[in-house]
A and B are shown apart, each in its own frame.
Chain A
Amino acid sequence: DVKVTQSSRYLVKRTGEKVFLECVQDMDHENMFWYRQDPGLGLRLIYFSYDVKMKEKGDIPEGYSVSREKKERFSLILESASTNQTSMYLCASTSQEYTTDTQYFGPGTRLTVL
């Protein structure tokens, strides 16, 4: 079974702090994604990566950056957290670029910025 893990289930940070969210997958997937999920809105893509050291902006990249130094690990970075970044963050992976394969999700990190 594919396993996608995220470093924290719940996180509370202060405005202006730098925040790191880690995601690890164990199935040698090429593609990895970071989404945020807010009530009443669909999942919104922040960034994705189709290979090590490669990254592409999604629909809402502002205020975020990412890092993919190893194939299995994709990190989301909030350079200076703000209250409007309070959200559920979901990481996902899939096997190939340009594929209709299903995305496998991690359990999510609920981030609260005070």
Chain B
Amino acid sequence: GQNIDQPTEMTATEGAIVQINCTYQTSGFNGLFWYQQHAGEAPTFLSYNVLDGLEEKGRFSSFLSRSKGYSYLLLKELQMKDSASYLCALMDSNYQLIWGAGTKLIIKP
């Protein structure tokens, strides 16, 4: 079967760095997505990884290790507006997304 795990909630300080982990088990893999969702709003796309390694996009980076079934989202120079839920989603062999429950990130001044 397929399973995705990510922490329920994390707290970090404005200006700091935070890493949000996502682990998964799957029999078929077509990539891993990260989405950001502010409270009461729609998820918006952040990143997509299909090959091992780090993808950097401004203050946000995403890492994938397929052999370990592991990804992380790294947020640098945290700002108050980064307070949101971060959703990890696995694309399976049928190109369907399997979603984690999301990590609520709380940023404190």
A residues sitting closer than 8 Å to B (CB atoms) are 4, 40-45, 90, 97-100, 102-108
Check B48–A108 contact: CB distance below 8 A.
Answer: no
Q: With A90-B43, A107-B42, A108-B42 as given contacts, are A102 and B48 in contact (CB-CB < 8 Å)? A: yes
Q: Does B33 contact A (CB under 8 A)?
A: yes
Q: Does B99 contact A (CB under 8 A)?
A: yes
The dominant DSSP class at the B interface is loop
Q: Does B54 contact A (CB under 8 A)?
A: no
B residues sitting closer than 8 Å to A (CB atoms) are 4, 8, 30-31, 33, 40-45, 48, 50, 87, 89, 91, 94-102
Residue of B31, B40, B98, B100 near A100 (CB, 8 A) is B31
How many A-B Cβ pairs are below 8 Å?
Answer: 47
The dominant DSSP class at the A interface is loop
Q: With A107-B41, A108-B41 as given contacts, are A99 and B95 in contact (CB-CB < 8 Å)? A: yes
Q: Which residue of the partner chain A has the closest CB to B99?
A: A42
Q: Which residue of the partner chain A has the closest CB to B42?
A: A105
Q: Can you report 17 A-B residue pairs in the complex whose CB atoms are below 8 A from each other?
A: A4-B42, A42-B4, A42-B89, A42-B98, A42-B100, A43-B99, A45-B97, A90-B43, A98-B95, A100-B50, A100-B91, A100-B95, A102-B33, A106-B42, A107-B41, A108-B40, A108-B41
A residues in contact with B101, CB < 8 Å: 40-42
Q: Which residue of the partner chain A has the closest CB to B31?
A: A100
A residues in contact with B8, CB < 8 Å: 40
A residues in contact with B95, CB < 8 Å: 97-100
